Amino acid sequence: MTHDELAEIRKAEQERKQKYKHKINVCMASGCLSLRSDLVKEAITKEVDKECLADSVLVSKVGCVGLCSQGPIVVLETKGEVREGITPEDAEAIIKSLGAEHDGGNSNELVDGVVLRLDSKFFTRQKKIVMEHSGLIDPDRIEDYIAVGGYESVLDVLTEMSPAEVIDQVTRSGLRGRGGAGYPTGLKWSTVAKAFSSSGEKFIICNADEGDPGAYMDRSILESNPHQVIEGMIIGAFAVGASKGFVYVRAEYPLAIERLKIALKQAEKFGFLGHNIGGTTFSFTVELRYGAGAFVTGEETALIASVGGQRGLPQQRPPYPAERGLFGRPTLINNVETLANIPPIIRNGGDWFAKIGTEKSKGTKVFSLVGKINNVGLVEVPLGMPLREVIYDLGGGIPDGRTFKAVQTGGPSGGCIPAEHLDLPVDFESLQQAGSIMGSGGMIVMDDASCMVDVAKYFMGFCKSESCGKCIPCRVGTVQMHAILERITDGTATMEDLGLLENLCGLAKNASICGLGQSAPNPVLSTLRYFRDEYRAHIEERRCPAGVCKFKNAGKDVYEEDLEVRDETGTSS
């Protein structure tokens, strides 16, 4: 594939689309699909055929639009409208509405489904780089991606740039890993590029093992535009000198896997993967590997073990994967979102990217908003946007007239940020200073009906059952910490227990092998920092301020509880 050939495909595709007067996009990412958006698309297509509009109305399947809880979502692109909760029965009304001139409120009557304009705050306050084409193109058509400029960066890189120049652009962009730790991507790339491999072999792995509770950014990216990730991988492989890549994707993401498979086949067919890509000497292939759904295999050394066919256990570092990774060779591991940022960075230059965001946190971040928030869904915002805007302008605020209490960011490795920090800019440093982290971008919003001790207990329970068991501070530490939290929410804990809890937090943080154990205490530490009163109330007053915890054992000690159990089973009088 040459630049000219690519340009030809792009032009043909653009012209084909311009022929249509109206474009209707039906979201077919997991969220909407689970509400049978496929039937909606079928019905709309039938309606178009029935009305003999096939020449003027294009009905396409697209990826995630972002309003995942209100599906099925249909976007009338040409009218600038987003409609939610569409059923197959609405097809007729939708097609009819195409004819009518748009006049604000009236369209509400045409279709049973609230209308959100594409120029409403939810969309305009976002800044889309990673999700730029999400919800606008068909993830299963490489031509759709090429039409919006896809794969141009690869050809540019291969024919006009040296690996060092590519790395330089990535370094200048200031991009930091989106998988959790926020490590500078350019630095990682140059380390792997410089690492010595006795066999000359190096690898690149795309980490698509996303396992944080409440997070589905990577899934959405893969379901909405897998080609952008593959393109990022090819560029990364060229930059570090890898000839083989793996996508480690969790098996619970069947749709993402299906679309990745299709995309890989297409990329190969179009000559972006395989031998002598773009007529150059560079060759690169990508294979899929499926994770069986263990959170810990997202940790890079565990992931490498798993890709290599071993039990997915983390390893003490050093050595780092950049030096000794898959099969003992230098290996570049990047997150899905990190890689999806690469093609736009190459297309627009590192300096362009560096202008977005804050001084130390560049670019945008995709967040999944879940919990007690009106717009449960995916948003992409420039880093540095105040939390308040994310939650109120984009998220639409807290439902049922309740008040905001805290937002949990960074998943089980993160922490809770209380209302007094609502004006915090969302970037790597600020979140860390507030005792939480960016993590992979999950945001769980909680209202005043949530008990923070209970929240901490939930995350500790998660870590406890996801611990791989290799090292003792995490394997047994999480169990003991969870047990103490349970005693606190049961009303059977003492202030001594709280001391033990804090000790164990310190041990797990400092003595565990990998990030899972090291960060498992974070939800506890951050809730202790902001909501110590709630812990006190539970322990000293045997009372849950939010009314969540049921003190079935309040006032009794553990032994009495044991006796009661025996009573029930009839073994004692």
Ligand X SMILES: Cc1cc2nc3c(=O)[nH]c(=O)nc-3n(C[C@H](O)[C@H](O)[C@H](O)COP(=O)(O)O)c2cc1C
State the residues that interact with ligand SF4 by CB under 6 A: 296, 314, 467-471, 474-475, 512-514, 516-517
How many residues touch other proteins under the rule CB under 8 A: the total is: 31
Least Å from the CB of residue 77 to ligand SF4? 45
Report the alpha-carbon distance of residue 264 to residue 257 in Å, rounded.
10
Nearer to other proteins, 59 or 468 (CB): 468
Partner from ligand X, other proteins, ligand SF4, none contacting 332, C-beta within 5 to 8 A by type: none
Least Å from the CB of residue 409 to ligand X? 15
Residues 411-440 that bind ligand X (CB under 6 A): 440
Applying CB under 8 A, which of residues 105, 309, 318, 547 lies at the interface with other proteins?
318
Least Å from the CB of residue 316 to ligand SF4? 8
Q: Which residues pair with 379 in a beta bridge?
A: 367
CB contact at 8 A, 512 and 518: yes
Tell me how far CA of residue 63 lies from CA of 37, 144, 571, in angstroms: 11, 12, 60
Report the alpha-carbon distance of residue 465 to residue 409 in Å, rounded.
20
Least Å from the CB of residue 524 to ligand SF4? 16
Partner from ligand X, ligand SF4, other proteins, none contacting 428, C-beta within 5 to 8 A by type: none
Partner from other proteins, ligand X, ligand SF4, none contacting 27, C-beta within 5 to 8 A by type: none
Residue 325: alpha-carbon gap to chain centroid? 24
**186 binds other proteins, rule: CB under 8 A:** no
Q: Which of the stretches 250-258, 313-321, 389-397, 526-534 binds other proteins when contact is defined by CB under 8 A?
A: 313-321
Q: Which residue has the tokens 């309740």?
A: 402
Q: Which of the stretches 13-21, 259-267, 467-475, 536-544 binds other proteins when contact is defined by CB under 8 A?
A: 467-475
Report the alpha-carbon distance of residue 159 to residue 171 in Å, rounded.
20
Least Å from the CB of residue 296 to ligand SF4? 5
Residues 286-315 that bind ligand X (CB under 6 A): 295-296, 298-300
Partner from ligand X, ligand SF4, other proteins, none contacting 403, C-beta within 5 to 8 A by type: none
The full DSSP string for 263-330 is HHHHHHHTTSSBSSGGGSS--BEEEEEEE-S-GGGGSHHHHHHHHTTS------SSSPTTTS-GGGS-
Taking CB under 8 A as the rule, which mask of x and - marks residues 468-507 in contact with other proteins? xxxxxx-xxxxxx--x----------------x--xx--x
Inter-residue long-range contacts of 78-81, CB under 8 Å, 24+ positions, other chains counted:
78/21, 78/22, 78/23, 79/22, 80/117, 80/118, 80/119, 81/107, 81/115, 81/116, 81/117, 81/118
Burial 163-200 (b: 16+ CB within 10 A, else e): beebbbbbbbbbbbbbbbbbebbbebbbbbbebebeee
Token pair in block for residue 224: 């909405």
Applying CB under 6 A, which of residues 47, 210, 427, 490 lies at the interface with ligand X?
210
Interacting residues with other proteins (CB under 8 A): 294, 296, 311, 315-316, 318, 464-473, 475-480, 483, 500, 503-504, 507, 510-513
Site residues, ligand X (CB under 6 A): 177-181, 183, 207, 209-211, 295-296, 298-300, 333-335, 338, 440, 514-516
